C-alpha cells in the first residue's frame, strides 16, 4: 500500500456536490482520494491532481477525466490556468507525509531508521535536512525547533547541535539522534517526532506552501465551491481553521457595516471531523487527523 487515505469517504462526501464539476486533489500520493473523487464524477467531470514527489507519478490513473500535475500545490492557481481552468467546484488537500515517504528509509522522514538526513518531498530541490542541521545558524535552528516542533528546550537543542558539528558533520538521522541520547526513555519517541517534524517543515517550507495554497484556493473556487483540508498537527490545523473562519492567518479581520466580522467560508461543521476508532485501529497514522470543510461565500 503506497498510502492509506485518511477520512476517505467523509472527505469526498463533503467535496463532490456536482458530478459534472471540476475538482482538485492537491496531494495525489497513492491516488486513493483521487480514485474516490473520480468514482463520484460523470463523464463531464474533471479532476486535476497535484504531487511534487516523483514517486507519486507512478500511481497515475488512466482516465480521460484525470490530469496529474507534477508540482507543489503552492503553484495551484498558475498550474490550472495553464490547462485553461480559471475556476473549480472543489479542492481537497490531505496534508503531511505519505505512508510511502515514511516507509522509504532512505528518504530520512522516519525516526525509526538510520538514513541520510534528507526529508525532501521534492528530491529535485537543493535544500535538505543535512543542510538545515549543518549550515543554519544556531538562532535559526532554535526558532525552527521552537515554532515548528513546539519544543520548549529549543535553544539548548540548537546549542548542542552547533557544538557537535564543529568537529564532525551530522550526516544521518542516527548521527542526529545520538546527540540526544541523554534523554530519558519515556520522552524519546515524542521528542524525536517533534524534532523531525520541525526539520521536515523547514526543508519543505510546508507552512508557507499551505498558506499560499489556501489563498489561491479561495481565488479559484466558484461561489459555493468547497475546500476540504485534512491536517495532522496543530500548526497546520490552526492555519486552516483561521483561514476558513475569516480568510486570514493573522491580524484583525475586517468588519461589515453592521460590525460583524466578514467571513470567507461557511463551515460545513463547526468542529473538525476526526477518524473513528475503527479507522484508527486499521491505520494508526489517522490518529492525529482533523478535517475541516468550508463553502466559499
Q: How far is CA 46 from CA 34, 40, 81, 85, 93, in A?
A: 11, 11, 14, 10, 17
> Tell me: the pLDDT tens digits for 11-30?
999 999 999 999 999 999 99
Paired with 227 in beta bridges are 91, 294
Distance, in Å, from the CA atom of 15 to the CA atom of 12, rounded to the nearest integer, reads: 5
Q: CA–CA separation, 190 vs 152, rounded Å?
A: 13
> What is the full DSSP assignment across 241-294?
HHHHHHS-SSSPPPB-TTSPBP-SEEESSSS-B---HHHHHH-GGGTT-EEEEE
Total-model pTM = 0.93
pLDDT of 71-87, one tens digit each? Answer: 999 999 999 999 999 99
- Of 208, 181, 184, 203, the C-alpha closest to 128 is 203
Q: What is the pLDDT of residue 104?
A: 83
Per-residue confidence band for 251, with pLDDT thresholds at 50, 70 and 90: confident
Flag whether pLDDT at 167 surpasses 70: yes
Q: CB-based burial of residue 16 (10 Å sphere; 0-12 exposed, 13-18 middle, 19+ buried)?
A: buried
**What average pLDDT does the structure give for the chain?**
94
Distances (CA, A) of 209 to 188, 202, 205, 206, 269: 29, 11, 6, 5, 25
| pLDDT over 90 at 258, yes or no | no
- Tell me 172's DSSP state: B
Lowest mean pLDDT among 98-102, 146-150, 237-241: 98-102
For residue 296 the three cell numbers come to 466559499
Q: How confident is the model at residue 23, as a pLDDT?
A: 98
Contact yes or no for 131/180 (Cβ under 8 A): no
Residue 2: pLDDT band with limits 50, 70, 90: low
Establish how many alpha carbons lie within 13 A of residue 138's alpha carbon, considering only the half-sphere containing its beta carbon.
12
Which is more confidently placed, 2 or 213? 213
pLDDT at 210: 98
Amino acid at each position: 500500500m503506497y498510502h492509506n487515505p485518511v477520512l476517505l469517504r467523509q472527505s469526498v462526501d463533503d467535496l463532490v456536490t456536482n458530478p459534472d464539476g471540476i475538482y482538485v486533489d492537491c496531494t495525489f500520493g497513492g491516488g486513493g482520494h483521487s480514485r474516490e473523487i473520480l468514482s463520484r464524477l460523470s463523464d463531464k467531470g474533471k479532476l486535476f491532481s497535484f504531487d511534487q514527489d516523483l514517486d507519486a507519478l507512478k500511481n497515475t490513473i488512466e482516465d480521460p477525466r484525470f490530469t496529474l500535475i507534477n508540482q507543489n500545490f503552492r503553484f495551484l492557481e498558475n498550474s490550472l490556468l495553464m490547462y485553461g481552468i480559471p475556476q473549480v467546484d472543489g479542492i481537497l488537500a490531505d496534508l503531511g507525509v505519505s505512508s510511502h515517504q515514511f516507509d522509504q528509509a532512505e528518504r530520512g522522514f522516519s525516526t525509526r531508521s538510520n538514513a541520510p538526513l534528507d526529508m525532501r518531498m521534492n528530491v529535485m530541490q537543493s535544500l535538505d535536512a543535512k543542510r538545515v542541521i549543518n549550515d543554519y545558524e544556531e538562532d535559526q535552528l532554535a526558532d525552527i525547533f521552537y515554532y515548528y516542533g513546539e519544543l520548549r528546550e529549543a535553544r539548548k537543542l540548537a546549542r548542542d547541535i552547533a557544538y557537535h558539528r564543529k568537529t564532525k558533520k551530522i550526516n544521518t538521522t542516527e548521527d542526529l539522534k545520538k546527540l540526544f541520547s541523554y534523554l530519558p526513555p519515556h520522552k524519546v519517541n515524542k521528542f524525536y517526532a517533534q524534532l523531525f517534524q520541525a526539520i521536515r517543515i523547514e526543508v519543505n517550507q510546508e507552512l508557507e506552501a499551505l498558506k499560499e495554497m489556501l489563498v489561491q484556493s479561495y481565488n479559484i473556487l466558484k461561489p459555493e465551491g468547497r475546500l476540504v483540508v485534512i491536517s495532522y498537527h496543530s500548526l497546520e490545523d490552526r492555519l486552516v481553521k483561521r483561514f476558513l473562519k475569516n480568510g486570514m492567518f493573522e491580524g484583525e479581520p475586517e468588519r461589515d457595516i453592521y460590525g460583524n466580522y466578514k467571513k470567507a467560508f461557511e463551515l460545513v461543521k463547526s468542529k473538525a471531523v476526526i477518524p473513528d476508532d475503527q479507522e484508527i485501529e486499521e491505520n494508526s497514522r489517522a490518529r492525529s487527523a482533523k478535517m475541516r470543510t468550508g463553502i466559499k461565500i
